[in-house]
A = this chain, B = another copy of it.
Amino acid sequence: MASGRPMPRYSRVVCLNGSTRMPTLYDYLDSGNGYKIRLLLAQLKQPYRWIELDITRGATRTPQFLAKNLNGRIPTLELDDGTCLAESDAIMWYLAEGSPFVPADRLGRAQALQWMFFEQYSHEPYVATPRYIIRHLPPDSPRQAELPDRRARGRDALAVMDGHLRNRTYFVGERYSIADIALYAYTHVAPEAGFDLSPYPHVLSWMGRVASEPGHMLITDRPAS
């Protein structure tokens, strides 16, 4: 993937309104983790600057970006004062705390976090990573060999979700929350990772409900200026 051209550090900058008092989201359009933040910000109607970094060309491993996030990953949210926040689900918590997108009761908040940690530990490495390998690595990458094992564990995660949703409309408290956004992000594009979702009918109907929520946007929707 190396080339003689200088690496573009920022491939696109969009300012979503004219104010200077708004956060900046460092992101990559095809990232489901980044999409979580874009979707939540759209539904919160919160303006932000959007800066796309080409993660396939090392743009998050520059000294400039590592000063913002030592772990070198998008999404990273930069606040007005320069403070940077990493980890998609922590960023969602920051943005949504006190809003209807975070449960109002103590148990509900912990249950939302339970599903968000489930997503990062038991779902994302097995549903999102195969999609990345297929879409962004060359067909002869040795990482193609990881696909069968990862997909098997991805099916385990989808089965857990399907069982939980059997008699529920949303993951926590019968109400749409950041737990749904966290799990929707890579589940709805799981077919791009080679998953057949037809064995998970409760997941499919839940995805339909999530996509019908006011302010929904697609992972392919670039933040518009």
* Chain A interface residues (CB < 8 Å from chain B): 70-71, 79, 83, 85-91, 93-94, 97, 106-107, 109-111, 113-114, 116-118, 120-122, 124-125, 160, 163-164
Can you list 18 A-B pairs with a CB-CB distance of less than 8 A? A70-B160, A71-B118, A71-B122, A71-B160, A85-B110, A87-B114, A87-B118, A90-B113, A90-B114, A90-B116, A91-B114, A94-B106, A94-B110, A97-B106, A97-B110, A117-B120, A121-B125, A125-B125
Residue of B nearest to A95 (CB): B110
Q: Is the CB of B70 within 8 A of A87?
A: no
Measured between alpha carbons, how far is A121 from B107 in the docked complex, in Å? 23
Max count, chain B CB within 10 A of own CB: residue among A79, A114, A122: A114
A94 CB contacts on chain B under 8 angstroms: 106-107, 109-110
User: In the complex, which residues of chain B have a beta carbon less than 8 angstroms from the beta carbon of A125?
Assistant: 121, 125
Nearest B-chain residue to A111, judged by Cβ:
B85
Least Cβ–Cβ distance between A40 and chain B, in angstroms: 13
Q: Which residues of B contact A116 (CB under 8 A)?
A: 90, 117
